[in-house]
């Protein structure tokens, strides 16, 4: 019988099968008591109709095991994140390295010319999206900076419109109200060719974060319900911080992340059975010295690995972990020490389909065009660790080994030339030049200078495929209706 072979890729798992079930059982306990707090009577009524025990006075919902199991059955095991350019769409589950995105919603950037910090505007976001559209290391994008000149209560809507003009890749935004969610669906449907076409291939998805621990804010949860009904994928990103918004013990934090995701899934599936969802966590620990979130902490990699396993226990598409080397500084460059860079990279070796973080500075409060180039170059080398390793007759190459024989070499054989670009990491020339500056040969200033030159070249030459002008005008009119 012929042997077809198998594929393997680099992944980290830390929970045994028994521990996975212990986390699940503990999650059921949390969801039943104390349950979740939900700031929306509409969402509470939905949960009550689905079998949850609801106290409208305290705005609490206790979710029984039966509803959890029904939610798991209804939750889709695959998700499509579409794009204006259909070739740039993404399907999960994904075997191999995760799809990678930028960081999101920074409030300032470093100016490309002066290097000084400044608040960001819509024009800046458009520049970021143009660069992202041309950057191979990015598979999809978050609106990486806030457009402070947009409508104050409609940032998600305004930034979705700007981003769709700047890139043909998938966009992952956020909404803070049901009204904003409906308008985001409206503008995307204009581009997609109608709401049915948008539901079949969603051009955008949304990050909706519970308030850890176990609280769902009114605007956000009502937006989740709107997106579910429209077929827009909802990424339920839990952001537990050990020692602050979760107990300091990792087991408890993992259970809270799991509970928040399953509760969010329940709301989506009750709003519309089969609504697309993604299990997500960007959880870490609190920095006990500063009180800030500690990106790059060792515990972040452990949590990512564990909750990735929990997501796969339910068969859910997954976004856990993040990647970036500008985590602590407010200027572009490599601002993490080697150990933090290693552990940041390790989060992407968890069982995850999607990840994010490129281009961010200063614990995600800032962003830099140059940092996108630097992070992308480094990420493209790290992701090779997650690339598929094929084990089949062709890849074992026994006939070739026999023909070369003991003591020979494989440098000049056609097999090496034919397969080296598929099997080995060979950076492009521009990437290799910046990559060389990461070593001892060049200092940080030279690295940033070279990245800056590449940014300028892209902004001067790259042209994103435009949206039809009449459709773009109608999108702008939806945003303009909220300017007052």
> What's the mean pLDDT in 118-133?
98
Find all residues with CB under 8 Å of 117, minimum gap 6, and list them: 108, 109, 110, 111, 330, 366
Mean pLDDT, residues 285-294: 80
Q: What is the mean pLDDT of the chain?
A: 90
Distances (CA, A) of 162 to 25, 178, 220, 469, 481: 44, 20, 21, 14, 16
Flag whether pLDDT at 233 surpasses 90: yes
Residue 264 clears pLDDT 80, i.e. is over it:
yes
3-state secondary structure the chain: CCCCCEEECCCCCCCCHHHHHHHHHHHHHHHHCCCEEECCHHHHHHHHHCCCEEECCCCEEECCHHHHHHHHHHCCCCEEECCCCHHHCEEECCCCCCEEEECCCECEEECCCCCCEEECCHHHHHHHHHHHHCCCCCCEECCCECCCCCCCCCHHHHHHHHHHHHCCCEEEECCCCHHHHHHHHHHHHHHHCCHHHHHHCCCEEEECCCECCCEECHHHHHHHHHHHHHCCCEEEEECCEECCCECCCHHHHHHHHHHHHHHHHHHHHHHCCCCCEEEEECCEEECCCCCCEECCCHHHHHHHHHHHHHHHHCCCCEEEEECCCCCCCCCCCCCCCHHHHHHHHHHCCCCCCEEEEECEEHHHCEECHHHHHHHHHHHHHHHHHHCCEEECHHHHCHHHHHHHCCCCCCCCCHHHHHHHHHHCCCCCHHHHHHHHCCCCCCCHHHHHHHHHHHHHHHHHHCCCCCCCHHHHHHHHHHHHCCCC
pLDDT at 427: 64
pLDDT of residue 301: 86
Q: d(Cα 464, Cα 391) in Å, to the nearest integer?
A: 39
Q: What pLDDT score was predicted for residue 297?
A: 77
**Which range, of 57-66, 149-158, 373-382, 427-436, averages the lowest pLDDT?**
427-436
Confidence check: pLDDT of 273 > 90:
yes
pLDDT above 50 (res 440): no
Q: How far is 388 from 391, CA to CA, in rounded Å?
A: 10
Residue 1 has pLDDT above 70, yes or no: no
Structural domain boundaries of the chain?
1-396+427-484, 397-423
Q: Which of 402, 425, 7 is nearest to 410 (CA)?
A: 402
pLDDT at 436 over 70: no
Give mean pLDDT, residues 73-78: 97
Q: Give the integer Cα–Cα distance in Å for 393 and 373.
A: 38
- pLDDT value at residue 425: 64
pLDDT score recorded for residue 4: 47
- HSE-CB for 243 with a 13 A CA cutoff: 12
- Listed in sequence order, the residues at least 6 apart from 110 whose beta carbon sits closer than 8 Å to its beta carbon are 116, 117, 330, 331, 332, 361, 366, 368, 370
Average pLDDT over residues 97-110: 94
Residue 236 scores a pLDDT above 90: yes
Percent of the chain with pLDDT over 70: 93
Q: Name the architecture of domain 1-396+427-484.
A: Alpha-Beta Barrel (3.20)
- Evaluate if residue 338 carries a pLDDT over 60: yes
> Is the pLDDT score of 2 beyond 70?
no
Query: How far is 278 from 207, CA to CA, in rounded Å?
Result: 9
- What average pLDDT does range 54-75 have in this prediction? 98
pLDDT at residue 428 in the model: 65
Residue appearing with tokens 């579409």:
82
Structure tokens at 364: 């995600």
What's the maximum distance between 2 C-alpha atoms anywhere in the chain?
80
Report the C-alpha gap between 60 and 75 in whole angstroms: 23
pTM as predicted: 0.89
pLDDT at residue 437 greater than cutoff 60: no
- Residue-level pLDDT at 422: 75
Looking at the chain, the whole-number percentage of residues with pLDDT higher than 90 is 68
Beta bridge partners of 145: 106
Per residue in 8-63, pLDDT tens?
A: 456 788 899 999 999 999 999 999 999 999 999 999 999 999 999 999 999 999 99
pLDDT digits (tens, 9 = 90+) for 354-396: 999 999 998 889 999 999 999 998 888 777 766 666 778 888 8
Q: For position 388, what pLDDT does the model report?
A: 63
Q: Which residue has the higher pLDDT, 339 or 219?
A: 219
């Amino acid at each position: 019988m012929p042997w077809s072979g198998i594929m393997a890729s680099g992944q980290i798992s830390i929970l045994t099968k028994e521990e996975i079930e212990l986390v699940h059982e503990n999650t059921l306990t949390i969801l039943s008591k104390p349950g979740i707090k939900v700031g929306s009577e509409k969402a509470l009524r939905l949960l009550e109709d689905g079998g949850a025990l609801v106290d409208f006075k305290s705005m609490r919902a206790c979710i029984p095991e039966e509803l959890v199991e029904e939610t798991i059955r209804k939750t889709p095991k695959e998700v499509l994140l579409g794009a204006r350019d259909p070739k740039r769409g993404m399907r999960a589950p994904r075997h191999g390295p995760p799809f990678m995105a930028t960081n999101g919603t920074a409030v300032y950037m470093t100016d490309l010319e002066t290097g000084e910090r400044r608040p960001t505007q819509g024009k800046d976001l458009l520049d970021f999206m143009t660069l992202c559209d041309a950057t191979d290391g990015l598979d999809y994008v978050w609106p990486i900076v806030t457009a402070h000149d947009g409508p104050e209560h409609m940032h998600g809507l305004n930034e979705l419109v700007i981003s769709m003009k700047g890139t043909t890749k998938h966009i992952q935004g956020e909404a803070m109200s049901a009204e904003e969610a409906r308008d985001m669906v409206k503008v995307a449907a204009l581009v997609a060719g109608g709401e049915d076409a948008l539901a079949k291939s969603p051009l955008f998805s949304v990050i909706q974060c519970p308030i850890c621990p176990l609280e769902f804010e009114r605007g956000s949860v009502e937006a989740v319900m709107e997106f579910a009904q429209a077929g827009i994928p909802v990424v339920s990103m839990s952001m537990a911080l050990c020692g602050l918004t979760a107990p300091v013990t990792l087991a408890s934090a993992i259970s809270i992340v799991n509970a928040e995701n399953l509760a969010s899934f329940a709301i989506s599936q009750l709003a519309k059975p089969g609504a697309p969802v993604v299990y997500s966590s960007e959880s870490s620990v609190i920095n006990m010295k500063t009180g800030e979130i500690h990106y790059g902490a060792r515990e972040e990699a452990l949590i990512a690995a564990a909750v990735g396993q929990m997501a796969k226990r339910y068969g859910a598409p997954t976004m856990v972990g993040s990647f970036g080397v500008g985590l602590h500084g407010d200027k572009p460059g490599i601002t993490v020490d080697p150990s933090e860079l290693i552990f940041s990279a390790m989060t992407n070796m968890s069982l995850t389909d999607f990840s994010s973080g490129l281009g961010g500075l200063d614990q995600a409060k800032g962003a830099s065009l140059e940092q996108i180039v630097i992070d992308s170059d480094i990420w493209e080398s790290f992701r090779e660790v997650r690339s598929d390793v094929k084990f089949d007759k062709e890849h074992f190459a026994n006939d070739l080994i026999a023909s070369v024989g003991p003591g020979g070499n494989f440098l000049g054989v056609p097999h090496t030339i034919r397969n080296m670009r598929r099997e080995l990491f060979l950076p492009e020339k521009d990437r290799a030049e910046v990559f060389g500056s990461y070593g001892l040969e060049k200092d940080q200033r030279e690295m940033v200078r070279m990245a800056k030159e590449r940014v300028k070249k892209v902004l001067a030459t790259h042209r994103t495929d435009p949206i039809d002008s009449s459709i773009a005008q109608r999108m702008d009119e939806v945003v303009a209706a909220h300017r007052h």
